[in-house]
Chain A
Amino acid sequence: MVGTSLGQALPMAPPLATSTFSQASGTLLGAIGAVAGFLAILAVIFFVAGRVTGRLQKPLAVIICLVPALFLLLLGLIVPAITTINNSFKNQQFLGELGTKYIGLKNYQFAFTDSYTLQTILRTFLWLIIVPTITVIIGLVAALLLDRMRRNAVPKTLLFLPTAISFVGASVIWGYVYDYRAPGSPQTGLLSAVVMKLGWHNPPHWLISSPINTFLLMVIMIWIQVGFAMVVLNAALKSIPDEIIESARLEGASGFRLFRTIQVPMIRSTVVVVLTTVMITTLKVFDIVFTVTNGNYNTDVLARQMYADMFVTSQVSRGSALAVILFVIVLPLMFYNIRQLRRERTER
């Protein structure tokens, strides 16, 4: 739809019209002005509060420092989270709809009985199991191999690079891998070209063939996340004292055995943290499915369907129930991570 607006405007649009330029500079000035305004307000508050001395000085400082953060958190997270939980027990369809009623657990009942939603939930669990596992395995192997390579900066950067690419950008990139052309015509998709070279003459239309399309979407996610896993695990491996590795080597352990008996057990807690972290990210990612298939062809996941319920198909309460389900799945993973993080912090 947006493509057409671009097309219609093409013939007559002069290159970088002055209006574009003025709009761009206006936008940018607005942003810089906002930052400047924010800093100016801060400076004034600091200046005025600086005049205050005596008993009031400390309480005033506490208020100035804490109130902005607390206010924003209350307004942006605490109240909304409670409202969403509340909404999930109602029958709200549209944003801002009045006269909604409480309907108990009906939205949850719907989520677990409606066959489409149920499939979405099960598919999300599939993502939740497959993506983190494979990501951690590849990341661990890469981390170990990197550890045994001198001058590894370039390959490390290349493996880490996708982490900085947006999910949307990654989806476009992988579009050129999964592109489909009828057999016989020149192929534009790398995957088709490769499998045809290998002798599979009639590959499927990758992105619309279920269930393989779901796995192909997972590959995009794995491609992005491996860099994170590798960097964290590589750092953990480096922290194993050299004496331990050295003495194990003197006792004849090498290669895979060293890896299995010494290195992996010593970084086990980091492996679990990486696993749960990738799980949380995977659970919340909606961009990939949204961009590539928009949930069609049996690829929908919780985060995408929730977004559609809330903002596209006007099922706010059902979407809220899905958000709460997401929250409930994230909760234990998050608690585990935070506890682990705290423990490591207090140990040092």
Chain B
Amino acid sequence: MTTITPPLDPAQDEVLHGKEASRAVRKAFSSPIASAAVILLSVLWTIPTLGLFINSFRSKEDAATTGWWEFFVHPSFSLDTYKQVLTADGGLTLPLVNSLAITIPATIIPIFIASMAAYALAWMRFRGSDAIFFTIFALQVVPLQMALVPLQQYYVKGLQVFGVTIIPSPHVNGTLAQIWISHTMFSLPLAVFLLHNFVAQIPESLIEAARVDGAPHLRIFRSIVLPLSMPAIASFAIFQFLWVWNDLLVAKTFGSSDPAQQPVTARLQSLTGSFGAHQELLAPAGFIAIVIPLIVFLALQRYFARGLLAGSVKG
């Protein structure tokens, strides 16, 4: 329902001709040359990451003076750089915590705000609801780059029109709250759009039955809509988690420049900019920075693929 392309629905093949037939076709179709080419390509795609991983646990001297592939000839192990990168002042421990502290609220809060809006737009028909949905939908075209400076201004001194403050600043300057709010704002067009498409497909009979029983709208949302929307929420949540965790632009714009308050991406980026100093820390730092999204990805690949297909137009 939330994909660009029809498939991802194993039931479809079954309906058409059964799994057996499908498998037979695929089998007759597979070729050793294609398999070899795929394996070659995937190895090629993995080599850069493998290089980083190997360099991250070689000894400092070896990593600085020889290529990582020398590891296969002269293996050397050392976890010193990992220890250093995690324990040193200005190291990655706090940034890892910060990334988590940014990502959790910035994933959970939009889910609720967006699903409430999606429910209202899909099931509480009122004058203008279509227009509102279309506006939110159309907001996907606004690149978040356009929002950076004015939003920054808002956080500092509130929303002013001709010098008159209309909406006061939330006074969250320099805190993580600024990043949570920004990510929530930027995620809404996509989130509302995705969840609306899903929520709108809930069978009308279910909602009607609850209404006949006299259940108020908010209870229908809580006890019927929210639980039934879990698949769509899961897809969005994983997409949003990886998006926020991997984000640099929002964190750099709205986050603190104090190393102890930056997320992993911003910290890693400053490390690369430190020209030669502590180059040996780059490999372990890089690996630490990518390992959590990789675990999330490997564990929930299926949901992620679905979220990615749907979220590919995120601004």
Contact = CB atoms under 8 A, between A and B. Distances in A.
A129 interface: no
A245 B29 contact: yes
Interface stretch (B135-143, B202-210, B228-236): B135-143
B50 to A, nearest CB: 9
Given A167-B246, A231-B305, A61 B218 contact: yes
Given A6-B278, A66-B117, A228 B308 contact: yes
A145 B296 contact: no
A163 B88 CA distance: 30
B8 A242 contact: no
A9 B34 contact: no
B297 interface: yes
A158 B132 CA distance: 41
B41 A76 contact: no
- Residue from the set A59, A158, A345 with the largest chain B CB neighbour count within 10 Å: A158
Interface string A319-338: 11001101100110011011
A70 B268 CA distance: 35
A24 B93 contact: yes
A73 B268 contact: no
Given A13-B89, A169-B286, A69 B269 contact: no
Interface in A71-112: 72-73, 75-81, 83-85, 87, 95-96
Contacts of A167: 246, 248
Contacts of B289: 166, 168-169, 172
Given A50-B218, A58-B217, A159 B42 contact: yes
Contacts, number: 447
A164 B218 contact: no
16 contacts: A6-B277, A24-B94, A34-B105, A39-B112, A62-B126, A65-B116, A73-B188, A147-B29, A168-B272, A235-B8, A238-B7, A243-B17, A286-B248, A310-B148, A334-B313, A338-B141
Contacts of B108: 35, 38
A69 B143 contact: no
Interface string A125-161: 0000000000000100110111111101011111111
A146 to B, nearest CB: 6
Given A16-B87, A77-B186, 7 more contacts: A31-B100, A69-B192, A165-B290, A172-B289, A281-B312, A284-B315, A306-B145
Interface of A: 1-7, 9-10, 13, 15-17, 20, 23-24, 27-28, 30-32, 34-35, 38-39, 42, 46, 49-50, 53, 57-59, 61-62, 64-66, 68-70, 72-73, 75-81, 83-85, 87, 95-96, 138, 141-142, 144-150, 152, 154-169, 171-177, 186-190, 193, 223, 226, 228, 231-232, 235-236, 238-239, 241-243, 245-246, 249, 267, 270, 273, 277, 280-281, 284, 286-287, 290-292, 294, 303, 306-307, 310-311, 316, 319-320, 323-324, 326-327, 330-331, 334-335, 337-338, 340-341, 344-345, 348
A149 B35 CA distance: 5
Interface string B53-95: 0010000000011111110000000000001101111110110
Residue in B47, B90, B91 whose Cβ sees the most chain A Cβ within 10 Å: B90
A28 B12 CA distance: 44
A148 to B, nearest CB: 4
B149 A242 contact: no
A84 B117 contact: no
Interface string B7-20: 11000110011000
B282 A327 contact: no
Contact of B27 (A61, A142, A150, A236): A150
B17 to A, nearest CB: 6
Contact of A307 (B124, B249, B298): B249
Nearest to A82: B150
Given A16-B93, A31-B105, A175 B143 contact: no
Given A49-B218, A155-B38, A242 B159 contact: no
A27 B101 contact: yes
With most chain A CB atoms within 10 A of its CB, the pick from B64, B102, B113, B309 is: B113
Given A232-B309, A235-B7, A280-B313, A176 B186 contact: no
Contacts of A174: 48
A62 B308 contact: no
A73 B114 CA distance: 11
A62 B129 CA distance: 10
Contact of B143 (A172, A287, A327): A327
B283 interface: yes
A202 B49 CA distance: 26
Contacts of A186: 65-67, 70
A46 B222 contact: yes
A249 to B, nearest CB: 8
Query: Which of A6, A10, A42, A49 lies at the interface centre, i.e. has the most chain B CB atoms within 10 A of its CB?
Result: A6
A23 B88 CA distance: 14
Contacts of A277: 312-313
A336 B62 CA distance: 51
A335 B297 CA distance: 30
A73 B187 CA distance: 9
Given A167-B248, A341-B313, A142 B145 contact: no
Given A65-B221, A72-B185, A165-B294, A175 B282 contact: yes
B293 interface: yes
Contact of B188 (A13, A65, A69, A149): A69
Contacts of A159: 41-42, 45
Nearest to B5: A236
A62 B66 CA distance: 64
A166 B90 contact: no
A253 B190 CA distance: 42
Contacts of A281: 312
Given A78-B139, A236-B7, A10 B88 contact: yes
B101 A95 contact: no
Contact of B90 (A9, A156, A242): A9
